Amino acid sequence: MKTYYIIYGLRDPYTQEIRYVGKSSSGLKRPKAHFTPSGRRARTYCARWLRSLKRQPDIVVLQVVALRDELANAERAWIAIGRAALGNRLTNLTIGGEGCTGRAVSAETRAKLRVANSNKPTNWRAIEKAAAKNRQLWATSEYRSRMSSTLRGLKRSVEARRTTSRVTRERWRDPQFKAKTSVAIAKGKRTPEARETRRSSVGRWHTAATKARIAQTLRGRRRPPETIAKVRARAIGRVASLETRKKMSETHRRRWAARKAQHGDQ
Q: How far is CA 130 from CA 56, 133, 139, in A?
A: 41, 5, 14
CA angle 205, 158, 73 (to 5 degrees): 105
What is the side-by-side strand order in the sheet with 58-64? 18-24, 6-11, 58-64
**Contacts (Cβ under 8 Å, ≥6 apart) of 7:** 21, 22, 23, 24, 61, 62, 63, 65, 71, 74, 75, 78
C-beta atoms surrounding 21 within 10 Å: 26
Over the stretch 84-98, which tens digit does the pLDDT of each residue have? 878 889 998 888 766
d(CA 183, CA 177): 10
Please tell me whether residues 76 and 165 are part of one structural domain. no
- Residue 98 confidence (pLDDT): 66
C-beta atoms surrounding 50 within 10 Å: 20
**Across the strands, what pairs with 64?**
6
Please tell me whether residues 65 and 83 are part of one structural domain. yes
Range of the domain at 218: 197-227+240-266
Query: Is residue 3 predicted with pLDDT exceeding 70?
Result: no
The SS3 assignment for 22 reads strand
Please tell me whether residues 102 and 2 are part of one structural domain. yes
Please provide the average confidence, as pLDDT, over all residues in the chain. 82
Q: What is the pTM of this model?
A: 0.42
Q: Is 147 a domain residue?
A: no
CATH code for the domain of 22: 3.40.1440
**At 1, is the pLDDT very low, low, confident or very high (cuts 50, 70, 90)?**
very low
Q: Which amino acid is at 63?
A: Q
d(CA 201, CA 146): 18
Kindly state the DSSP code that residue 35 receives in the 8-state scheme.
Answer: G
Q: Is 124 a domain residue?
A: no
